[in-house]
Amino acid sequence: MRKFLKKMLQKVGAKRQKSSSLSDSTAYNDFCRLAGTDEGQFANFRRNPVYNEILEHMTEEQGAEYLDLVKSDEDVFSRIEVFRENDNYGNPRTFSYPDIGVFSPTTLRYIKVLADLKSLFGSLDDMSICEIGVGYGGQCRVISSFFSPSLYCLVDIAPALMLAEKYLNNFDCASTCTFQPPDIVETRQYDLLISNYAFTELRRSIQDAYLEKVILQAVRGYITYNDINPPDYLSYKKDELLAMIPGSRILDEVPLTHSGNCIIVWGDLR
């Protein structure tokens, strides 16, 4: 897989195109590639300023809000020490929280999303899961340390996938993971589609491809929606997405991280 990603990176380097999303910048791509191949950069990648413009910028206060929500699910909260292992890599910014000690607020957000998925859909055991926009794989690892998906497909730009693969190789869940750059995303019906902000930060032309190949095929879905794109992206608004995705509805984003955010869900809601 790493040989394939390296070929994709060579194509990216050979011909820079206009960005497909808010996170698709030259600096971010180059840093993900570096952190995915250099041990020194990987050791501290979660504190790098270039990386923090896209990820790992949750505040201490937001982390406390996520923790309060996680505590309401006793089963999830009981695994807090397992989830803490997410922070063993990349040297994230951490803060001390009551009852759990030092934790990354970003990891607490991933745990909160897990609790949401469990509340909405029940067990994710044996499900095929596709995540669009995967960061470094933190959400995948949290979900896979609580449930046992049959398959977890991570979809992102090639440099981000290289970093995510390096990160996830430190955990047992790597054996169920596949990595697909946008250019080769296969049409497939997944049991669950997840995207935390990433899908709604894409240009409409890219969104159309994901809708056709993955989202409209998915049995269930959980998309955290935001509306921060430049006008020229022509990205779909939430009302348009609701009209396109059968059975979808809107939930409040709690805590609200930006005005206008919400969560779009569909499928076998409990």
Rounded to whole angstroms, the Cα distance separating 270 from 267 reads 9
Higher pLDDT, 112 or 20: 112
SS3 17: coil
Q: Please check whether residue 87 is in contact with residue 103, taking contact to mean a CB–CB distance below 8 angstroms.
A: yes
Rounded to whole angstroms, the Cα distance separating 212 from 255 reads 31
pLDDT digits (tens, 9 = 90+) for 76-105: 999 999 999 999 999 999 999 999 999 999
pLDDT at 266 over 70: yes
pLDDT at 23 over 70: no
User: Residue 3's pLDDT is what?
Assistant: 41
Counts for the chain of helices (H) and strands (E), in that order: 12, 9
- Three-state secondary structure readout of 111-175: HHHHHHHHHHHCCCCCCEEEEECCCCCHHHHHHHCCCCCCEEEEECCHHHHHHHHHHHCCCHHHH
pTM of the model: 0.90
